[in-house]
Amino acid sequence: MRFIKKFFLPLQHKIKNNMNKILIIASVFVLLSASACNSKGGNKEEDPAAVSSGKTETSMSIAGEGTVVHLTAEQFRDKVWDYKANPGQWVYKGDLPCLIDFYADWCRPCKMVAPIMDELAAEYKGKIRIYKIDTEAERELAGVFNIRTIPAVLFVPKNGQPQMSVGALPKPTFIQAINDVLLVK
Protein backbone atom coordinates (compact mmCIF):
# COMPACT_ATOMS: atom_id res chain seq x y z
CA MET A 1 0.00 0.00 0.00
CA ARG A 2 2.88 2.32 0.77
CA PHE A 3 4.37 1.63 -2.64
CA ILE A 4 1.12 2.57 -4.34
CA LYS A 5 0.88 5.89 -2.49
CA LYS A 6 4.53 6.68 -3.09
CA PHE A 7 4.53 5.81 -6.81
CA PHE A 8 1.03 6.37 -8.19
CA LEU A 9 -0.07 9.57 -6.42
CA PRO A 10 2.78 11.71 -7.83
CA LEU A 11 2.23 10.08 -11.24
CA GLN A 12 -1.49 10.87 -11.07
CA HIS A 13 -0.65 14.52 -10.29
CA LYS A 14 1.72 14.76 -13.30
CA ILE A 15 -0.87 13.26 -15.63
CA LYS A 16 -3.48 15.74 -14.42
CA ASN A 17 -1.15 18.73 -15.00
CA ASN A 18 -0.24 17.50 -18.49
CA MET A 19 -3.90 16.95 -19.41
CA ASN A 20 -4.71 20.53 -18.36
CA LYS A 21 -1.92 21.83 -20.63
CA ILE A 22 -3.13 19.68 -23.52
CA LEU A 23 -6.71 20.92 -23.08
CA ILE A 24 -5.56 24.55 -23.05
CA ILE A 25 -3.46 24.09 -26.19
CA ALA A 26 -6.31 22.28 -27.96
CA SER A 27 -8.76 25.05 -27.02
CA VAL A 28 -6.46 27.74 -28.40
CA PHE A 29 -6.02 25.76 -31.63
CA VAL A 30 -9.79 25.37 -32.07
CA LEU A 31 -10.39 29.09 -31.50
CA LEU A 32 -7.70 30.09 -33.99
CA SER A 33 -8.87 27.69 -36.66
CA ALA A 34 -12.45 28.97 -36.35
CA SER A 35 -11.55 32.47 -37.58
CA ALA A 36 -10.93 31.46 -41.22
CA CYS A 37 -11.10 28.41 -43.47
CA ASN A 38 -8.56 27.24 -46.00
CA SER A 39 -10.32 27.12 -49.36
CA LYS A 40 -8.55 23.94 -50.49
CA GLY A 41 -10.84 21.69 -48.48
CA GLY A 42 -12.61 21.07 -45.26
CA ASN A 43 -15.63 19.49 -43.74
CA LYS A 44 -18.14 19.50 -46.57
CA GLU A 45 -21.21 18.58 -44.56
CA GLU A 46 -24.05 20.99 -45.15
CA ASP A 47 -26.20 22.59 -42.51
CA PRO A 48 -29.25 23.84 -44.42
CA ALA A 49 -30.50 25.92 -41.49
CA ALA A 50 -27.25 27.87 -41.29
CA VAL A 51 -26.92 28.78 -44.95
CA SER A 52 -27.70 32.46 -45.25
CA SER A 53 -30.69 32.81 -42.95
CA GLY A 54 -32.74 30.11 -44.64
CA LYS A 55 -32.65 31.63 -48.12
CA THR A 56 -31.88 29.22 -50.90
CA GLU A 57 -29.39 29.91 -53.65
CA THR A 58 -32.21 29.97 -56.20
CA SER A 59 -34.15 32.67 -54.37
CA MET A 60 -30.97 34.70 -53.89
CA SER A 61 -29.99 34.48 -57.55
CA ILE A 62 -32.78 36.84 -58.51
CA ALA A 63 -31.29 40.34 -58.57
CA GLY A 64 -33.12 42.57 -56.17
CA GLU A 65 -32.64 45.58 -54.00
CA GLY A 66 -31.88 44.83 -50.39
CA THR A 67 -31.00 41.17 -50.86
CA VAL A 68 -27.77 39.21 -51.19
CA VAL A 69 -27.33 37.93 -54.75
CA HIS A 70 -25.32 34.81 -55.64
CA LEU A 71 -23.20 35.22 -58.75
CA THR A 72 -21.68 32.78 -61.20
CA ALA A 73 -18.50 33.69 -63.07
CA GLU A 74 -20.58 34.68 -66.11
CA GLN A 75 -22.85 36.93 -64.01
CA PHE A 76 -19.76 38.42 -62.33
CA ARG A 77 -18.34 39.34 -65.75
CA ASP A 78 -21.66 40.97 -66.70
CA LYS A 79 -22.30 42.88 -63.46
CA VAL A 80 -18.90 43.55 -61.88
CA TRP A 81 -15.78 43.13 -64.04
CA ASP A 82 -15.08 41.30 -67.27
CA TYR A 83 -11.68 39.91 -66.36
CA LYS A 84 -11.44 38.10 -69.70
CA ALA A 85 -11.98 41.23 -71.82
CA ASN A 86 -9.88 43.46 -69.50
CA PRO A 87 -7.39 41.10 -67.82
CA GLY A 88 -4.87 43.75 -66.76
CA GLN A 89 -7.23 46.60 -65.97
CA TRP A 90 -9.98 46.92 -63.37
CA VAL A 91 -13.13 48.32 -65.01
CA TYR A 92 -16.13 48.22 -62.68
CA LYS A 93 -19.44 47.75 -64.52
CA GLY A 94 -21.84 48.34 -61.64
CA ASP A 95 -24.07 51.32 -60.99
CA LEU A 96 -23.60 51.10 -57.19
CA PRO A 97 -20.59 50.17 -55.06
CA CYS A 98 -20.62 46.51 -54.09
CA LEU A 99 -19.36 44.07 -51.52
CA ILE A 100 -18.50 40.54 -52.68
CA ASP A 101 -18.40 37.68 -50.17
CA PHE A 102 -16.28 34.70 -51.32
CA TYR A 103 -17.47 31.66 -49.34
CA ALA A 104 -17.94 27.88 -49.28
CA ASP A 105 -20.89 25.93 -47.86
CA TRP A 106 -18.65 23.86 -45.56
CA CYS A 107 -16.91 26.91 -44.00
CA ARG A 108 -18.25 27.66 -40.51
CA PRO A 109 -16.90 31.26 -40.36
CA CYS A 110 -18.59 31.85 -43.73
CA LYS A 111 -21.86 30.69 -42.19
CA MET A 112 -21.32 33.18 -39.36
CA VAL A 113 -20.86 36.02 -41.88
CA ALA A 114 -23.93 35.09 -44.00
CA PRO A 115 -26.60 36.59 -41.68
CA ILE A 116 -24.51 39.77 -41.34
CA MET A 117 -24.49 40.10 -45.14
CA ASP A 118 -28.28 39.66 -45.21
CA GLU A 119 -28.68 42.43 -42.60
CA LEU A 120 -26.28 44.77 -44.42
CA ALA A 121 -28.09 44.20 -47.73
CA ALA A 122 -31.35 45.32 -46.14
CA GLU A 123 -29.77 48.25 -44.23
CA TYR A 124 -27.89 49.60 -47.27
CA LYS A 125 -30.68 48.96 -49.79
CA GLY A 126 -30.27 51.30 -52.76
CA LYS A 127 -26.77 52.38 -51.64
CA ILE A 128 -24.65 49.26 -52.27
CA ARG A 129 -25.07 45.79 -53.73
CA ILE A 130 -23.97 42.65 -51.90
CA TYR A 131 -22.95 39.59 -53.89
CA LYS A 132 -21.83 36.11 -52.85
CA ILE A 133 -19.54 33.80 -54.81
CA ASP A 134 -19.21 30.11 -53.96
CA THR A 135 -15.46 29.38 -54.27
CA GLU A 136 -16.13 25.64 -54.69
CA ALA A 137 -18.44 26.16 -57.67
CA GLU A 138 -16.56 29.13 -59.16
CA ARG A 139 -12.91 28.03 -58.87
CA GLU A 140 -11.81 30.10 -61.87
CA LEU A 141 -13.19 33.26 -60.30
CA ALA A 142 -11.61 32.43 -56.94
CA GLY A 143 -8.33 31.97 -58.80
CA VAL A 144 -8.62 35.37 -60.50
CA PHE A 145 -8.61 36.99 -57.04
CA ASN A 146 -6.12 34.46 -55.61
CA ILE A 147 -8.58 33.43 -52.90
CA ARG A 148 -6.77 31.02 -50.56
CA THR A 149 -8.58 31.69 -47.29
CA ILE A 150 -12.30 32.21 -46.76
CA PRO A 151 -14.37 34.08 -45.93
CA ALA A 152 -12.81 36.76 -48.12
CA VAL A 153 -14.70 39.97 -48.78
CA LEU A 154 -13.96 42.29 -51.68
CA PHE A 155 -15.03 45.92 -51.21
CA VAL A 156 -15.60 47.47 -54.64
CA PRO A 157 -16.12 51.25 -54.74
CA LYS A 158 -17.92 52.78 -57.74
CA ASN A 159 -14.67 54.54 -58.70
CA GLY A 160 -11.23 53.31 -57.71
CA GLN A 161 -9.60 50.01 -56.91
CA PRO A 162 -11.24 47.21 -54.88
CA GLN A 163 -9.90 46.20 -51.46
CA MET A 164 -9.85 42.67 -50.01
CA SER A 165 -10.48 41.62 -46.42
CA VAL A 166 -9.95 38.07 -45.15
CA GLY A 167 -11.60 36.34 -42.19
CA ALA A 168 -14.90 36.58 -40.36
CA LEU A 169 -15.36 40.20 -39.34
CA PRO A 170 -17.96 41.55 -36.90
CA LYS A 171 -20.81 43.65 -38.25
CA PRO A 172 -19.45 47.00 -36.91
CA THR A 173 -16.22 46.43 -38.88
CA PHE A 174 -18.20 45.79 -42.06
CA ILE A 175 -20.23 48.96 -41.44
CA GLN A 176 -17.07 51.02 -40.96
CA ALA A 177 -15.49 49.59 -44.13
CA ILE A 178 -18.68 50.24 -46.12
CA ASN A 179 -18.75 53.86 -44.95
CA ASP A 180 -14.98 54.41 -45.37
CA VAL A 181 -14.39 52.55 -48.65
CA LEU A 182 -17.69 52.24 -50.52
CA LEU A 183 -19.73 55.30 -49.60
CA VAL A 184 -16.97 57.90 -49.70
CA LYS A 185 -18.16 61.12 -51.37
Low-confidence ranges of the chain (pLDDT < 70): 1-64
> Cα–Cα distance between 102 and 128 in angstroms, integer?
17
Strand-pair category, 68-70 with 149-150 = unpaired
Per CATH, is 48-182 categorized as 3.40.47.10? no
Contact 53, 121 (CB under 8 A): no
Segments making up each domain of the chain, as ranges: 2-33, 48-182
Q: What pLDDT is attached to residue 3? A: 53
How many Cβ atoms are within 10 Å of 66's Cβ, its own excluded?
14
Please give the pLDDT value at position 51: 38
**Does the annotation mark 110 as catalytic?**
yes
Alpha helices, DSSP H, located in the chain: 2-33, 57-60, 73-79, 108-123, 139-144, 171-177
pLDDT for residue 65: 78
Q: 37, 100, 110, 113: which one is catalytic?
A: 110
Active site residue 37: no
pLDDT of amino acid 16 = 57
The strand pairing partners of 15, in sequence order, are none
Q: 110-138 pLDDT, tens per residue? A: 999 999 999 999 999 999 999 999 999 99
DSSP assignment string, 124-143: TTTT-EEEEEETTT-HHHHH
User: 168: closest CA among 147, 151, 149?
Assistant: 151
Given the residues 60, 98, 100, 107, the one annotated as active site: 107
pLDDT of residue 50: 37
Phi-psi region of 57 (alpha: psi -120 to 50; beta: other; left: phi over 0): alpha
